[in-house]
Structure 1
């Protein structure tokens, strides 16, 4: 075999580096303000390489799980470029808010410093729409998340269908009632034994009465060996009973980043299809 000239190796290496970096999403770490909680809150906003102030783009709000923070989706997925790559490929702005360590994205009835339903669905959406070239309509907004964030995404979308047109959940805690002692839920709603009505009224599986067929585009994804598997199947059955169309994915997997790093690919393709269809109407 003949040796490849050094100049050609350098040229090919440069070309590979150029191609790998020619489509690179940008990440803004922004400080937003919550009037209702009277504090500043960080968020990571992923802008596709094709982003321009002259062209409005759809937005995906991507929620983290319990014990995590706004940067989780960008630093803990096995392939850390996953979200940025998908943002580039699909032309979607991705917003990763800080939802508090264990907010469950409720407006807490116990703690006034945990009002994350209002923050995400109103204050953050208003901030993003005023600072970025977004489609300022439910047809250009989706929301999803993992674990606590999966609960939060469905909870917020079901309760704010005027804001979000599509929603999803990955390994979501979509029924909080079987877990009365876990993840500080009682600190947000009060103890289940003392305030059962609050728990019944704020668990996702009991919010399906808010839905009408085809109003929201919904995708639910959960691993077969996940501890939230049963509650996800129960939600799927409840949606079937109510004749609510939705995608429901079960795959081998547990409650970990390897699973979510795979699931986000399916979810963002689902939302891209929703955006393309809704904006053409």
Structure 2
């Protein structure tokens, strides 16, 4: 089937361009470019909808974030996202966030403003062009590694947008890694801007939670280099009596672990959506 191109009128903040769609405009997997006014560039995303997508219905949405060194296609190579969309009757959105953005609005790099992109520009686009439940009770966000950090970071800072947040193998404490994964390029060197590192690491942001309005699922393999940080995050959540699911099981920082873990996370998210509907 030849690729089809559809153009949309450009709103004030963004423009979308669908390059490819299997079967129809909104069926199955769309590759969508969303224009970011904040960064003055178009950003690709995957949007997976149920095979029996019906515009007369509305769907809950899961934002699924990739890790460092990857892009918006990464999760499609790890798990069968179409199966999740069909099983749980939801939309899955996989944004591109640059190789090492860490989902910050970087004070150092105007081309790395991915907090604004995901929380404002992308959500606005998705909910304008897809039939979604436009209510935080039916939005979730999760991701792996850098994306695990990103999912919790964005959810904690924008609790009006999501009711469920997850992380698998997440970099939930960036401070032990001052020379890794370009974090210093996003926040400045730790030696020069320690306050930025302290304020923008997930493990220090738990004061934002009231323990009532956010469903949390966190997992990490016990052989993962991020395991210690995830265990400390779990302990801090317990100390603050913040309900959450924490799973530690054999596994390392790799596709095999993530392929397994995302199945549990999707089931957890779908159960939260079902509870929120009652």
Pair in the same fold by TM > 0.5: yes
Counterpart position of 2:273: 275
| Counterparts of 1:261 and 1:169, CA distance in 2 | 13
Aligned-residue offset at 1:50? 2.7
Offset of residue 83 of structure 1: 1.6
Q: Give the equivalent residue in structure 1 for 2:213.
A: 215
- Pick from 60, 67, 80 the counterpart of residue 69 of structure 2: 67
Q: Distance in 1 between matches of 2:132 and 2:255?
A: 29
Q: Distance in 1 between matches of 2:97 and 2:54?
A: 28
Q: Counterpart of 2:199?
A: 201
Secondary structure, counterpart of 2:122 in structure 1: helix
What residue is the counterpart of 1:88 in the other structure? Answer: 86
- 5+ residue gaps, structure 1: 1-24
Residue correspondence of structure 1 range 31-50 to structure 2 within 5 A: 31-50=33-52
Report 1 or 2 for greater relative contact order, CA contacts < 8 Å, sequence distance ≥ 6: 1
User: Within 5 Å, which residues of 2 pair with 1:1-281?
Assistant: 26-75=28-77, 77=78, 80=79, 82-280=80-278
Query: How far, CA to CA, are the matches of 1:222 and 1:92 in structure 2?
Result: 25
More helix by share: 1
- Unmatched tracts of structure 2, length 5 or more: 1-26
Deviations 1:227-276 (A, max 9, x none): 00000000000111111100000110000001001100000000001111
3-state DSSP of counterpart to 2:86: helix
CA–CA distance in structure 2, aligned partners of residues 31 and 251 of structure 1: 37
Q: Quick one: distance in 2 between partners of 1:38 and 1:279? A: 38
Tell me which residue corresponds to 2:3: none
Deviant stretches of 4+, over 4 Å: none
Q: Tell me the TM-score normalised to structure 2 length.
A: 0.89
Between Structure 1 and Structure 2, whose CA radius of gyration is higher?
1
- Once residues 86 and 219 of structure 2 are traced to their aligned partners in structure 1, the CA distance between those partners, rounded to angstroms, is 23
TM-score, normalised relative to structure 1: 0.89
